[in-house]
Structure 1
Amino acid sequence: MKELRKYSLLGIILLLWSACSEKKVEQTIKSTPAEASEQPIALVIHGGAGTIKRENMSAEREKAYREKLKEALNAGYADLESGEPALEAVMAAIKVMEDSPLFNAGKGAVFTHDGRNEMDAAIMDGRTRNAGAVAGITTVKNPITAAYEVMVNSPHVFMVGKGAEQFAAEQQLEIVDPEYFRDERRYKQLMRIIDAEKTQLDHSSLKEMELEDPYFNDRKYGTVGAVAVDKEGNVAAATSTGGMTNKRYGRVGDVPVIGAGTYADNATCAVSATGHGEFFIRNVVAHEIASIMRYSGKSVSDAADKVVMKQLVEMEGSGGVIAVDKNGRIAMPFNSAGMYRGYIKEKGKPNTFIYDDEDEGL
């Protein structure tokens, strides 16, 4: 009788253990979808780096920049939140800035020495490491869309000039008259720079020009860019620019050079750069950041800081980058006086910054 009670008690214990185990399994199964949905999404943008100081910026102009940065952030984040890939998000953000005369890209592109607007753009998918780039185009309303079409609808990575424009037209992108890009403020900037090259400016004249035109010192800089990570953990990068004011001889900067101004790889990060392009090409900045992460195991922040704040500085290269990894960790270092920049990780909460003394909360 005692033996029966013993085995009965053992049976009850086994039954209870089994029930508890089943409950734990059930809880695990139920929690799996919630955990999967917690993949962080994030979007980071920049609108150019350079000598951007409070004393040279009116309250109205600062407000305009911050509002446009917020618009770009919200546009890109809406795509991420709805489940669209990072590629779509970075393009949405870039197009907002390309359509604004505030930035040196698209509608606000600077002029070449010959009085033309020649634009470059690039985009890269971190999942496949596929990429597309265009340079020296003059008729595509949104250059970033031309770069995207090169990536997805051609076997090539890089197209330039008339050929790139023909390809864009064949892809039924919006083509505009080159006059669409003409901005009088930008044209006057070109004229003043050409005049400055012809005459020796004294200190007072130079200071007056800087105060009247905050772009004067930054004629070698100016770009818009975006990097993002989506709900699938894929990263992407996109960059667009009007290049260098008063540029000659078909000069092309770092933006469309994959690995220099634009790079994305799920294994490391997505990067978009802005600054004096020649230095970014020589340092292969975007790929260098990814390589430091890959081979040294450094975080995206540490890797970006090492390249921007050390390697570029040692070569006297000025500018900055934005970067994001697959876990939504971001970096926005720059070694110039300022950089138009911002990020968003939560709906309705875009964060924008301009100067070097602002708390980014990273």
Structure 2
Amino acid sequence: MIALALHGGAGTLSRTEMTPDRERVYLAGLQQALDAGYAILARGGTALDAVEQTTMLLENNALFNAGRGSVFTAEGRHELDASIMCGRTRNAGAIAGVHNIRNPITLARVAMERSGHVMLAGAGAEKFAREQQIETAPDEYYYTDMRWEEWQRKSRQTEARPRALGTVGAVALDSHGDVAAATSTGGTTNKRYGRIGDSPVIGAGTYANNRTCAVSCTGDGEYFIRSVAAYDVSCLIEYRGLSLQEACTLVIQDKMTALGGEGGLIAVDPAGQAALVFNSEGMYRGWQREGEAGQVAIF
């Protein structure tokens, strides 16, 4: 059995703002990433390779808040976070607060495999990237009119806490029975003080364990960190015997909603079951299991 699920963010979608033309473009981007990741699994590739490639394609798509489509910070820059985890070994890699890395998820994987550490941040992570010859991009690469206009609106508002504005991620089960998860984000529009959300935090935004599941989260990062949301799904399966769907629903629809957090998550388990759960109006998402046609959706 093989399975793949992906997301392109949750928590900021509105049906009233989604025109038919815009919806078609978003769905096409999701489908492209889903097809590429699933093709890796279909030819016997690893779950790690599948989630990395899927996430890379979403990072390369300016529609999504990760990589090229990342939002502007209060200083007018782009700070990138990402993490990846292998369910077989439970090795993980994460990078936080980096600039000018073309594909943050690739740096996170290289950090996992070559750094001897789990999380690298800021200037140190950028130095490691240079040593490993990770591809970079100039500031102009990350500029889009859509993100610039969002930043201009946010910078004029008096709201103390910037709201989450999307994340991308993928989870997979490969033909070897291994699961993996990956998550990448540009953070929140107009964020200050070097804020880091849940995406690079293992156990909060990303988690994978062959005994239970692989999870990637999206939404109000502060709530996912405080809830250790991704790991909580795994714990509910391992210690309470819940099904994947039951565990994901409990975490997002009950626990997260009770705290006031908005967002969602995607997950797969070793049996090939997939869950895509959110408490927001929508979540960019896609999924495919062996023997079934792939599907993408927003609302």
Q: Same fold (TM over 0.5)?
A: yes
Is the counterpart of residue 97 in structure 1 residue 55 in structure 2?
A: no
| Counterpart Cα distance in 2 of 1:258 and 1:184 | 32
- Per-residue deviation at 1:184? 2.2
Asked whether the equivalents of residues 221 and 277 of structure 1 are also in contact (C-alpha less than 8 Å), the reply is no
Match of 1:287 among 222, 231, 237: 231
1:267–1:294: 8 Å Cα contact kept in structure 2?
yes
| Counterpart for residue 139 of structure 1 | 100
Residue 265 of structure 1, aligned match among 209, 217, 221: 209
Question: For residues 106-255 of structure 1, what are the structure 2 equivalents within 5 Å?
Answer: 106-197=67-158, 219-255=163-199
Asked whether the 8 Å contact 2:213–2:244 carries over to 1, the reply is yes
Counterpart in 2 of 1:11?
Answer: none
Cα pair 1:42 1:77 within 8 Å, conserved: yes
Instruction: Measure how far apart 1:274 and its partner are.
Output: 0.1
Percent identical pairs in the alignment equals 52
Shift of 1:267: 0.4
Q: Determine whether 1:317 maps to 2:261.
A: yes
1:47 shift after superposition = 0.3
How far did 1:178 drift? 2.4
Superposed CA deviations along residues 217-265 of structure 1, whole A, max 9, x for unmatched, are: x942300010000001100000000001110000000000100000000
Amino acid at match of 2:216: S
Q: Which amino acid aligns with 2:170?
A: A
Cα pair 2:12 2:164 within 8 Å, conserved: no
Unmatched runs of 5 consecutive residues or more in structure 1: 1-39, 199-217, 356-362
Q: Which runs of 4+ in 1 moved over 6 A?
A: none
Is the contact between residue 226 and residue 238 of structure 1 (CA under 8 Å) also seen in structure 2? yes
Q: Aligned ranges for residues 6-25 of structure 1 at < 5 Å?
A: none
Gaps of 5+ in 2: none
Post-superposition shift, 1:348?
Answer: 8.6
CA pair 51-172 structure 1, distance change in 2 beyond 3 A:
closer
CA contact (8 A) 1:117 1:182 kept: no
The CA deviation at 1:353 is 1.0
Which structure's relative contact order is higher, taking Cα pairs within 8 Å and 6+ residues apart? 2
- Whole-angstrom distance in 1 between the partners of 2:193 and 2:28: 36
Q: Distance in 1 between matches of 2:259 and 2:72?
A: 27
**Post-superposition shift, 1:346?**
4.1
CA distance in 2, matches of 1:80, 1:162: 35
Please tell me whether residue 351 in structure 1 is matched to residue 286 in structure 2. no
Please report how far the alpha carbon of residue 81 of structure 1 lies from its aligned counterpart in structure 2 after TM superposition.
Answer: 0.8
Is 2:39 the partner of 1:78?
Answer: yes
Deviation at 1:53, TM superposition (A): 2.8
* Residues 92-112 of structure 1 deviation map (CA, whole Å, 9 limit, x = unaligned): 100111001100000000010
Give the TM-score normalised by the residue count of structure 2.
Answer: 0.97
Tell me, in whole angstroms, the C-alpha distance in 2 between the residues paired with 1:223 and 1:51. Answer: 11
**Contact 2:12–2:165, Cα closer than 8 Å, also in 1:** no
Paired residue secondary structure (1:271):
strand
What corresponds to 1:302 in structure 2?
Answer: 246
Between Structure 1 and Structure 2, the one with more helix by share is 1
Q: Is the 8 A contact 1:263 1:287 kept in 2?
A: yes
8 Å contact from structure 1 (residues 123, 147) kept in 2: yes
SS of residue in 1 equivalent to 2:232: helix
Tell whether 2:26 aligns with 1:65: yes
Return the structure number with greater strand share.
Answer: 2
Where 2:253 maps in the other structure, the secondary structure is helix
Q: Following the alignment from structure 1 to structure 2, what is the Cα–Cα distance between the partners of residues 175 and 62?
A: 30
Quote the Cα distance in structure 1 between the aligned partners of 2:291 and 2:20: 26
- Inter-partner Cα distance in structure 2 for 1:41 and 1:328: 6
User: Residue type of the partner of 1:159?
Assistant: L
CA RMSD of aligned residues (A): 1.5
Q: Distance in 2 between matches of 1:243 and 1:154?
A: 24
Spell out, residue by residue over 1:20-43, the C-alpha distance to the aligned partner (whole angstroms, 9 max, x if none): xxxxxxxxxxxxxxxxxxxx1000
